[in-house]
Amino acid sequence: MVKVEIVEEKDHAGSPYASSSSSRTSSSVSLSSVESDASVDETLFDRILALKDIVPPTTRHSISSRISKTASVFKRGSKMVGNVIWVLTTSTLLVGLPLALILEDESKAVAQEKEMLEQQQGAQQMMAPSLYSQPGSDPNQPKALVPPGF
């Protein structure tokens, strides 16, 4: 809020700025009306627009050109980043996805071969005579005497 202070001046008869008591009261009334008008629905944007006339045109032009240059650099940079992301994404889809599918199929084939080898080894063990068979279980072999405790 702005504080307005009335300064008493020495009486200058020829001065156009000499004040009388009647003009003091009228100025205080007009100040209060201006103060109440300023507080009515004024936004920050309205205040910034009002400051436009205070800034010299050359300064306004330089500020405007800097903002437009910054915006164009940002626009070009974001476009380049977008293009890089597009290239990486499409390259991944075109090269990486088929490669991943081939590797998955290869691992499935290796797992199937391993399973088949295990099945073959299991079948061979079933067909081969057991090394741990008990003596005397085969009728063609003579019975061996095993001392007790072994």
Range of the domain at 63: 44-124
Cα–Cα dist 118/105, whole Å = 20
Residue 12 within a domain: no
The secondary structure of residue 148, as a DSSP letter, is T
Q: What per-residue confidence (pLDDT) applies to 143?
A: 59
Cα–Cα dist 33/20, whole Å = 20
Residue identified by tokens 């071969």 is 113
Tell me the pLDDT of the chain averaged across its residues. Answer: 79
From 13-22, 100-109, 115-124, the region with the lowest mean pLDDT:
13-22
8 Å CB contact between 146 and 134: no
Q: Spell out the residues 6+ positions from residue 52 whose beta carbon is closer than 8 angstroms to its own.
A: 60
What radius of gyration, in Å, describes the C-alpha atoms of the chain? Answer: 50
Residue 80 within a domain: yes
Asked if residue 135 has pLDDT above 80, the reply is no
From 33-47, 66-80, 132-146, the region with the lowest mean pLDDT:
132-146
In 3D, which of 114, 118, 115, 134 has the Cα closest to residue 126? 118
Cα–Cα dist 18/150, whole Å = 137
Which DSSP string corresponds to 78-94? HHHHHHHHHHHHHHIII
3-class SS of residue 115: helix
Residue 73 within a domain: yes
The number of distinct structural domains making up the chain is 1
Residue 34 within a domain: no
Residue 11 within a domain: no
Q: Which of 4-18, 28-42, 102-116 has the highest mean pLDDT?
A: 102-116
Asked if residue 28 has pLDDT above 60, the reply is no
Residue 86 within a domain: yes
Burial of 112 (0-12, 13-18, 19+ CB in 10 A): exposed
Token pair listed for 126: 């079933």
